[in-house]
């Protein structure tokens, strides 16, 4: 779980959500335990390996519940009684404590977001923004808009997500002024802009709007370089690589991926370019996987997902040799570092590419056989 009052790490191909600003994050003392008046933790968004060029919407309709849920991460319903949080918010409103009211709605939104109920979470984020506006606390409004844009993205409402981020961008100057007057400092305006522009670029990428996505990523990268945040720069480079693949410019794809690998310090990068791992023992694979720190392991998984997406883009352009190359890289990384789901999907993609280039025998007896052997050992 991530502390929703602290900046969350940037993850390639995932929308970024801004944390609570200082006045909202300090409504209760640190020793308040798991009080409902403390900011709740939120789940980190993760990129999903898929066989398509871009992500399908993470949500699907469920008639029984008449709402939208995440089929990849079916979670329990919110643990806390929502009535208690709503009653708390209403009590704070009556006592004219708008920031405490906002925090109660924030916690309700986070609970539904963690449960994959993004439509309901969006409605609570909107309720969170209302008291922030009454208190003229613009940083809270920007934070709420950032979370709403992420919820809209996960619902597949990409145009609405772009519009929401643009609203937040218009409030950045006012946000900086309010923070300086109230708490003396928060995240820099460059950090806020990089986060919002990254989300805009990802939304345009899902809409297959190459030019708009490239412009958004370029603007985001300028702000990221100002903040000297390597994590942010890496996420932008990985996203730009997918965007370049969308346009068919695979030379730029390679340069963006190389920069991403350099920034994130992925180990054993030579393995990802080899075309066979039969000589690599499972003991060696486990040793490689265990030596990774959490951050490098996450970056390696993101790279594996990027290889899969770029391979799918290459198939769209009819370049099956290049598609096989990137899918093979994804497969190798997945096997070595223990990302079984990525390895399976990459192996299937390699088989599809082999079939497309009239080499069905290699597709059936090569990499697919390695995957079967890997799962049998596991």
Tell me the per-residue pLDDT of 72-83, one tens digit each, with 9 for 90 and over.
443 444 555 688
**What is the tens place of the pLDDT at every residue in 191-202?**
999 999 999 999
Minimum mean pLDDT among 61-70, 81-90, 312-321, 362-371: which range?
Answer: 61-70
* Cα 102-30-104 angle, rounded to 5 deg: 15
For the cut 60, the answer to whether the pLDDT of residue 271 exceeds it is no
Residue 2 is classified by DSSP as E
Q: Are 180 and 320 in the same domain?
A: no
181 and 326 assigned to the same domain: no
Same domain, 162 and 283: no
Give the Cα separation of 154 and 143 in Å (integer). 17
Instruction: Provide the sign of the torsion angle of the four alpha carbons 296, 238, 322, 362, taken in this order.
Output: positive
pLDDT score of 59 more than 80: no
Contacts 24+ apart (CB under 8 A), 173-182: 174/138, 175/138, 175/139, 175/141, 175/142, 178/136, 178/137, 178/138, 178/139, 179/21, 179/22, 179/139, 182/22, 182/23, 182/137
Highest mean pLDDT among 3-7, 82-86, 168-172, 359-363: 168-172
pLDDT value at residue 358? 65
Is the separation of the CB atoms in 17 and 147 below 8 Å?
yes
* CA angle at 151 for the pair 146 and 202, rounded to the nearest 5°: 70
Contact at 8 Å (CB) between 126 and 85? no
Asked whether 308 and 330 are in contact (CB, 8 A), the reply is yes
The mean predicted confidence, pLDDT, of the chain is 80
Residues 185 and 315 reside in one and the same domain = no
Q: Does residue 259 lie within any of the structural domains?
A: no
Domain count, the chain: 2
Question: Cβ(12)–Cβ(234) under 8 Å?
Answer: yes
Averaged pLDDT, 88-106: 90
Q: What is the pLDDT of residue 289?
A: 53
Residue 328 has pLDDT above 60, yes or no: yes
What percent of the chain has a predicted confidence (pLDDT) above 90? 38
Residue 235, C-beta contacts closer than 8 angstroms, at least 6 positions apart: 10, 11, 12, 13, 14, 16, 198, 302
Does any domain span residue 358?
yes
Q: Reply yes or no on whether the pLDDT at 51 is more than 80.
A: no
Burial 242-268 (b: 16+ CB within 10 A, else e): bbbbbbbebebbeebbebbbebbebbe
- Report which listed range, 167-176, 227-236, 256-265, is most confident: 167-176
Structure tokens at 259: 């920069």
Nearest to 273 by CA among 291, 265, 261: 261
In a domain, 357, yes or no: yes
Q: Whole domain around residue 166: which residue ranges?
A: 2-189
* pLDDT score for 144: 97
Distance CA 334, CA 37 (A): 42
pLDDT tens-digit readout, 125-144: 999 999 999 999 999 999 99
pLDDT at 287: 52
Domain edge (last residue) among 127, 160, 189: 189
User: Is position 215 within any domain?
Assistant: no
Domain boundary among 173, 189, 205: 189
pLDDT at 85: 86
pLDDT of residue 359: 54
Q: Which whole number is the average pLDDT over 242-267?
A: 85
Task: Say if residues 129 and 140 touch (Cβ distance below 8 Å).
Answer: yes
Would 242 be classed as within a structural domain?
Answer: no
CB 70 within 8 A of CB 116: yes
Domain membership flag for residue 205: no
Residue 54 lies in a domain: yes
For residues 120 and 286, the model is more confident at 120
DSSP SS3 for 199? helix
Is the pLDDT at 362 greater than 50? The verdict is no
In a domain, 154, yes or no: yes
* pLDDT of residue 67 exceeding 80: no
Nearest 5 degrees, angle CA 334-CA 338-CA 344?
50
Cα distance between residue 321 and residue 327, in whole Å = 10
Question: Which of 189, 210, 236 is the endpoint of a domain?
Answer: 189
Average pLDDT, integer, range 271-278: 51
* Residue-by-residue DSSP string for 177-190: HHHHHHTS--S-HH
């Amino acid at each position: 779980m991530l502390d929703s009052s602290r900046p969350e790490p940037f993850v390639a191909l995932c929308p970024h959500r801004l944390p609570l600003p200082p006045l909202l994050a300090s409504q209760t003392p640190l020793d308040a335990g798991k009080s409902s008046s403390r900011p709740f933790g939120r789940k980190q968004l993760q990129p999903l390996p898929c066989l398509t060029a871009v992500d399908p919407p993470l949500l699907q309709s469920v008639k029984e519940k008449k709402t939208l849920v995440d089929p990849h991460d079916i979670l329990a319903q919110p643990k806390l009684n929502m009535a208690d949080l709503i009653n708390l918010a209403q009590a704070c409103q009556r006592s004219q404590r708008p920031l405490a009211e906002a925090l109660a709605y924030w916690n309700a939104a986070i609970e539904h977001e963690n449960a994959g109920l993004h439509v309901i979470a969006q409605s609570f984020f909107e309720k969170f923004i209302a008291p922030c506006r009454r208190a003229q606390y613009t940083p809270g409004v920007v934070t709420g808009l950032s979370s709403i844009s992420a919820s809209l993205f996960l619902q597949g409402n990409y145009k609405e997500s772009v519009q929401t981020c643009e609203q937040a961008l218009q409030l950045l100057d006012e946000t900086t002024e309010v923070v300086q007057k109230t708490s003396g400092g928060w995240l820099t305006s460059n950090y806020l802009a990089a986060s919002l522009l990254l989300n805009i670029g990802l939304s345009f990428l899902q809409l297959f709007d190459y030019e708009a996505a490239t412009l958004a990523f370029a603007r985001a990268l300028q702000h990221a370089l100002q903040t000297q945040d390597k994590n942010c720069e890496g996420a932008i480079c990985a996203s730009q690589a997918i965007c370049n693949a969308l346009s068919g410019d695979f030379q730029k794809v390679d340069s963006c991926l190389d920069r991403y690998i350099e920034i994130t310090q992925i180990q054993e990068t030579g393995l990802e370019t080899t075309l066979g791992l039969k000589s690599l023992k499972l003991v060696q694979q486990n040793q490689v996987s265990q030596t990774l720190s959490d951050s490098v392991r996450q970056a390696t998984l993101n790279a594996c997902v990027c290889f899969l997406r770029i391979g799918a883009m290459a198939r769209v352009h009819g370049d099956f040799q290049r598609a096989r190359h990137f899918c093979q890289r994804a497969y190798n990384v997945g096997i070595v570092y223990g990302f079984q789901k990525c390895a399976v999907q990459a192996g299937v993609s390699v088989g599809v590419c082999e079939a497309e280039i009239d080499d069905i025998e290699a597709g059936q007896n090569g990499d697919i056989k390695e995957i079967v052997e890997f799962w049998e050992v596991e």
